[in-house]
Amino acid sequence: MKALSIACLSLSLLYASLGWAQTPKLANPGFEESDTKATGWRFSQHAGVKAYVIAVDDEVKAEGKHSFRMQRTEKQVYGLLQQMVELTPGSAGTMRLSAEMRSEKVGKDGWILVVNFLTALGENIISQVRAKPVTGDSDWERIELVAPIPERTGKLSIGVMLLDEGTGWVDDVQLKIEPPTEEQEGEKKKGKEKPAQKPPQAVLF
C-alpha cells in the first residue's frame, strides 16, 4: 500500500513537473450530457428584467449532437454561462481556453469568451481576460483566449457572455494549462513577477 502511494506520488510529481496534472477536466464541455440542460454550467444575468432565452440546441452544433444557445430578447447588460474550475495548488504558466462560437445578429459588444482568475479562498477576482467579441452573423469559428496565470490563482471561472442583442452559440470548450516557460520561471525566481502581459486578442480591465 505504502509502495503504491509512493508510486502514485512520484507519478503525480512527474506529471506536475511536466505540467500534465495541471489541466483540470471541464464538466460537460461539448453540451452532450443532457438534451435539455447545460449540466455543469451555471447561467446568470444582470439584475432586472429577465432578458435571455437559453437552451441546449440539437439543430445547430459544431461537435457531437448539441451546442448551447443564448438569445437576448430584451435590452439588458449581460447574460453569462460559466463554470468554476479548480487548479492544482501552485499552478503557474499559461491558460489556454478555446471554444467553437457562432452568432446571429449579435451587436458590436458581442458574444465573448471570458475567464476570471480567482483566489482559492474567498474567490476574489484577481483579473479578467476576454477574447475578441464575436459579432454580426458569424459561422462556427474556434475562438482562443490565452493569458498568463497570475500569482495566487486557485480557481478559474470560465464562461461565455452575451453583451449585446442577438443570439450566440458555443460548443466544444477546451481548456489547457501550459507549464511556465523558462522566461516565466526566471521572472518568478527573481521574485518580481512581471505584470500580466496582454495577449493580442485579450483585454484586461
Cβ(170)–Cβ(134) below 8 Å: no
Question: Judged by CB under 5 A, which of 19, 30, 110, 148 binds Ca ion?
Answer: 30
> Scanning the structure block, which residue is given the C-alpha cell 486557485?
154
User: In terms of CB distance, is 70 or 147 closer to Ca ion?
Assistant: 70
Question: Judged by CB under 5 A, which of 171, 173, 175, 202 binds Ca ion?
Answer: 171
Q: Which stretch binds Ca ion (CB under 5 A): 22-30, 38-46, 87-95, 197-205?
A: 22-30
Distance set, CA 202 to CA 18, 148, 197 (Å): 26, 11, 10
Cβ(69)–Cβ(54) below 8 Å: yes
Q: Which stretch binds Ca ion (CB under 5 A): 7-15, 50-58, 62-70, 183-191?
A: 62-70
- 64 lies in the site for Ca ion, by CB under 5 A: yes
Compute the distance between CA of residue 28 and CA of residue 146 in angstroms, rounded to an integer.
21
In the complex, least distance from residue 66 CB atom to Ca ion, rounded to whole angstroms? 5
In the complex, least distance from residue 68 CB atom to Ca ion, rounded to whole angstroms? 8
SS3 113: strand
Binding site for Ca ion (CB under 5 A): 30-31, 63-64, 66, 171
